[in-house]
């Protein structure tokens, strides 16, 4: 049996002679070490190729995570300490046999991840979110917060951009809803997308952005880069800084929203609101930046509004009725998406925000998804139902969109 760890030690010794080592240099050291090892231990061609791949992953890559990251069937990786790894594949979560050698090895990988994006994570600052290679989002939690060792949760960005036709094909929307979404984006309605964890909010926001006219100036603001907006030439992407490398360079979502207002945006897209930045986002929507969009965690449209109220209260000490007026004046459409028990994702409802009535935010449902049962394979059956017509059609008229189909 090939002892990869023994070969690795020899490779590391050879690498000591390099000041600024490249990938080609590493492969050269690996090949020399494998050749020398092969003189002592019989190795087949297949074993040599596999050892070469494993060694590079251990030295330059992310060790056993590399194979998981490259497996297109896997959408999420959950590392619960060094010896317990789960993956999500085809909508199902399962534990796999792979494991790290020990806690120190996992800790080394964690530091390699955050080091590549100029972040730092340690006992004093044990939580960090980052993007890996622009393809994956990783959330890291270290001891003493994480009791059983370092915790990594890696979510892969969708490979190949989806579009509205993809959603129709998957049954996430129907053609009528797709047409409606196109129209309200083009007409610059302010849109908020709500849903639970892993329901596809960011993917849905990416798809809606495809309807934005290509001559507009768009500014995106995110905690960690996830949005993949294509086709917009005048696009500015801003990413918050947690300040865990140097507290003097802390840059929050609130800071970025305020800065973006001085950058002449046609629309502002905030990847997700989680706290006090909510009040700044709503203010931007209500001060000449129509067509702005964002997402947030909520289990229903009504609950999402309640969470928005709470987040605004964190950001400003003003009466609740004033906050409700601000929300109602800023948001036009609230889209709620969900993941059903069969793993499918649907637009569950589209609501119009009408205003404030008797001190409460008033909404009406325009479309909703109604379950009708299950087939023999457990797949949920249902249909999209139109509940009412859009009341506030002023933006549609201003954009020259009437009843004719232009999308």
Q: Tell me, what's the pLDDT at 52? A: 87
How many structural domains does the chain have? 3
| Ramachandran assignment for 118, one of left (phi > 0), alpha (psi -120 to 50 degrees), beta (any other) | left
Q: Tell me, what's the pLDDT at 407? A: 58
| 315 and 296 in a common domain | yes
Establish if 214 belongs to a structural domain. yes
Beta strands 267-270 and 293-297 are parallel
The token pair at 262 is 């001085």
In the predicted structure, residue 249 carries a pLDDT above the cut 70: no
| 390 and 362 in a common domain | yes
Domain that holds residue 26: 1-60
Contact 102, 82 (CB under 8 A): yes
The pLDDT-based confidence of 159 (bands split at 50, 70, 90) is: low
| 228 and 291 in a common domain | yes
| 279 and 207 in a common domain | yes
More confident of the two residues 253 and 226: 253
The pLDDT-based confidence of 8 (bands split at 50, 70, 90) is: confident
Contacts 24+ apart (CB under 8 A), 113-118: 113/62, 113/138, 113/140, 113/152, 114/140, 118/245
Establish if 407 belongs to a structural domain. no
Q: Point out the domain boundary residue: 29, 60, 91.
A: 60
Establish if 364 belongs to a structural domain. yes
Q: Which residues pair with 237 in a beta bridge?
A: 220
Q: Tell me, what's the pLDDT at 406? A: 52
For the segment 376-395, the average pLDDT, to the nearest whole number, is 94
In the predicted structure, residue 262 carries a pLDDT above the cut 70: yes
CATH of the domain at 238: 3.40.50.300
In the predicted structure, residue 310 carries a pLDDT above the cut 90: yes
Q: Tell me, what's the pLDDT at 160? A: 62
Establish if 211 belongs to a structural domain. yes
Q: Point out the domain boundary residue: 10, 38, 60.
A: 60
User: Can you tell me whether residue 113 is helix, strand or coil?
Assistant: helix
The pLDDT-based confidence of 12 (bands split at 50, 70, 90) is: confident
In the predicted structure, residue 112 carries a pLDDT above the cut 90: no
Q: Point out the domain boundary residue: 127, 157, 187.
A: 157
Q: Which of 90-94, 218-222, 248-252, 275-279 has the lowest mean pLDDT?
A: 248-252
pTM summary value: 0.77
In the predicted structure, residue 138 carries a pLDDT above the cut 60: yes
| 192 and 150 in a common domain | no
For the segment 100-108, the average pLDDT, to the nearest whole number, is 90
């Amino acid at each position: 049996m090939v002892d990869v760890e023994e070969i690795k030690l020899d490779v590391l010794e050879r690498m000591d002679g390099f000041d600024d080592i490249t990938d080609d240099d590493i492969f050269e050291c690996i090949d020399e070490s494998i050749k020398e090892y092969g003189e002592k231990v019989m190795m087949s061609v297949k074993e040599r190729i596999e050892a070469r791949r494993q060694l590079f992953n251990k030295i330059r890559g992310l060790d056993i995570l590399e194979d998981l990251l490259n497996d297109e069937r896997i959408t999420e990786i959950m590392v619960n300490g060094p010896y317990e790894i789960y993956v999500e594949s085809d909508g199902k979560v399962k534990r796999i046999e792979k494991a790290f050698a020990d806690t120190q090895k996992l800790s080394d990988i964690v530091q390699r991840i955050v080091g590549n994006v100029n972040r730092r994570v340690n006992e004093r600052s044990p939580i960090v979110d980052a993007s890996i290679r622009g393809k994956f989002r990783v959330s890291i939690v270290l001891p003493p917060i994480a009791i059983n060792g370092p915790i990594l949760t890696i979510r892969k960005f969708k490979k190949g951009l989806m579009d509205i036709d993809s959603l129709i094909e998957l049954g996430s929307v129907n053609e009528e809803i797709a047409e409606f979404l196109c129209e309200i984006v083009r007409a610059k309605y302010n849109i908020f997308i709500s849903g639970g964890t892993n329901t596809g909010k960011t993917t849905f926001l990416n798809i809606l952005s495809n309807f934005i006219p290509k001559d507009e100036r768009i500014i995106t603001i995110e905690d960690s880069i996830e949005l993949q907006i294509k086709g917009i030439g005048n696009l500015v992407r801003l990413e918050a800084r947690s300040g865990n490398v140097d507290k003097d360079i802390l840059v929050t979502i609130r800071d970025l929203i305020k800065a973006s207002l001085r950058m002449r945006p046609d629309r502002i897209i905030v990847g997700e609101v989680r706290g006090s930045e909510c009040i700044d986002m709503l203010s931007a929507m209500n001060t000449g930046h129509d067509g702005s969009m964002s997402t947030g965690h909520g289990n229903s449209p009504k609950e999402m509004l309640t969470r928005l109220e709470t987040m605004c209260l964190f950001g400003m000490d003003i009466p609740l009725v004033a906050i409700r007026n601000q929300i109602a004046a800023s948001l036009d459409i609230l889209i709620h998406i969900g993941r059903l028990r069969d793993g499918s994702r649907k637009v569950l409802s589209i609501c119009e925000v009408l205003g404030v009535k008797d001190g409460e935010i008033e909404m009406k449902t325009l479309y909703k998804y109604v379950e009708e049962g299950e087939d023999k394979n457990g797949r949920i059956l249902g249909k999209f139902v139109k509940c009412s017509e859009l009341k506030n059609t002023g933006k549609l008229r201003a954009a020259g969109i009437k009843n004719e189909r232009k999308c």
